[in-house]
Amino acid sequence: ATATAVPEPATLTPIPLTNAVLEPSPVPTITPTRTPMPEPLPPAVRLEGIQHIFQSWNNCGPATTAMALSYFRLYVNQADTATYLKPNPEDRNVSPYEISRYVNEQTPYQAIDRANGSLNTIKRLLAADIPVVIEVGIEPPGEYRWLGWYGHYLLVVAYDDDKEQFWVYDSWFGTSDTPMENADRNGRPLTYAQTDAMWAQFNRNYVAFYRPEQQNTVEKIIGENMSDEEMWAQALGRNQLALQQAPEDAFLWFNLGTIYNALGDYERGAASFDQARAIGLPWRMLWYQFGPYEAYYQTGRYEDILLLAEVTLKDRPYFEESFYYQGLALEAIGDSAAARRSMQQAVEFNPYFQPATEALQRLAESN
């Protein structure tokens, strides 16, 4: 996330909401396993010794990654983490899987990214000496509220059950309503309810950082959600239940689309994304999550992909994922030359974005 003042891009014409609500699809059947009762949690936990880092421009993901690693006394510069995570400074997004891949490949420590987290999971990880980064949606505070919604990362450093509160390290606002102004060592307090509301906008994605010898502990805490199938099945039921309470919540519909994509049900995924767009999403949404592209590609809606990519890239050609799906759509409609140009732009923007490098090679070989 950044605090840069930028004009809004052109907006998409909303798709009218259908009168019929999607019928819930059956949740995949998972063979139940006997899960041992978890040990009781301490009422409060704080991870000490973490170095707070204010992000440089547009550098939330790399800065938060560096903060988390400082807990292990591995002090890396956010410019160094950015070299791997987002080699182009204009790149507006670092995805959770990119953070975990960086930690696993470039440091002596380990990380795992998961969706469908819970407040209890965060607390159990902290109690086990494991820092947790969560992906959230934020409305900047105070006089910066006019900037509008952003995706952001927060490093959770403490909790207190009596106060029903977490404390987080925020690379952008610290503990102030003004960017880069102040960062109290305790961190920014957020109630459990505030945390969950922000976190739910990103399907409760999180990244846990740990020492290699903590692998078994991590697996025990995450439990059944170590399995992608179980994780997405649980997320589906949870999201469908939430939609019964808030059927006009665009984030919930977007989450549902992401879940259906993960389960391979792209028709329902596309319909869910249509509902989210019709209700109204923040204009920066496709900076951070790309499920509509995938659902529309898998269902043959190539013109919709091209429209979304055009709007997203028009004023800010800074998203390798948008270039990539633009290239796939162009290839699908038979414009191989334009497809190669889009894939080349994706690769030039981020050489570590493997789907685009593989697609570019395939297009070159088929020429």
Each residue's pLDDT tens digit, 44-67: 999 999 999 999 999 999 999 999
Does residue 237 have a pLDDT over 50? yes
Facing residues of 291 across strands? none
- In the chain, what is the greatest distance between 2 CA atoms, to the nearest angstrom? 65
| Rounded mean pLDDT, 241-254 | 98
Residues whose CB falls within 8 Å of the CB of residue 204, separated by 6 or more in sequence, listed in order: 115, 116, 117, 118, 134, 196
Fold matches, 44-226 and 229-366: no
Q: CB under 8 Å to 356, separation ≥6 — which residues?
A: 320, 323, 324, 327, 343, 346, 347, 350
| pLDDT above 90 for 8 | no
Q: Would the pTM of this model clear 0.85, i.e. be above it?
A: yes
Looking at residues 170-180, what average pLDDT do you find?
A: 93
Q: Which of 25-29, 233-237, 268-272 has the lowest mean pLDDT?
A: 25-29
Question: Is residue 18 scored above 50 in pLDDT?
Answer: no
- 44-226 belongs to CATH 3.90.70.10: yes
Give the model's pLDDT for residue 142.
Answer: 84
- Per-residue pLDDT of 69-102, as tens digits, reads 999 999 999 999 999 999 999 998 999 999 999 9
List, in sequence order, every residue forming a beta bridge with 156; answer none if it has no partner.
Answer: 132, 168
For the cut 80, the answer to whether the pLDDT of residue 316 exceeds it is: yes
- Round to the nearest angstrom and report the end-to-end CA distance of the chain: 39
**DSSP secondary structure string for all residues of 92-124:** ----HHHHHHHHHHHSSSEEEEESS--HHHHHH
| Three-class SS state of 291 | helix
pLDDT at 20 over 50: no
Mean pLDDT, residues 253-276: 99
pLDDT at residue 2 tops 80? no
pLDDT at 36 over 80: no
Q: Is the pLDDT of residue 15 over 50?
A: no
Torsional class of 48: left (φ above 0), alpha (ψ -120 to 50), beta (otherwise): beta
Does residue 327 register a pLDDT over 80? yes
Mean pLDDT, the chain, as a whole number? Answer: 91
Report domain extents, the chain: 44-226, 229-366
Average pLDDT over residues 144-150: 93
16-25, 29-38, 73-82, 196-205: lowest mean pLDDT where?
A: 16-25
Task: Point out the least confidently predicted range of 171-185, 204-218, 251-265, 291-305.
Answer: 171-185
Q: With 90 as the cut, is the pLDDT of residue 14 above it?
A: no
**pLDDT at position 39, please?**
79
What is the pLDDT at residue 158? 99
Rounded to whole angstroms, the Cα distance separating 142 from 163 reads 24
What is the pLDDT at residue 37? 57
Task: Identify any residues that bridge with 113 across adjacent strands, giving them in sequence order.
Answer: 207
Domain 229-366: give its CATH code. 1.25.40.10
**What local confidence, expressed as pLDDT, does residue 366 receive?**
82
Residue 12 has pLDDT above 70, yes or no: no
Percent residues over pLDDT 90 in the chain: 84
pLDDT tops 80 at residue 240:
yes
Residue type, 145: R
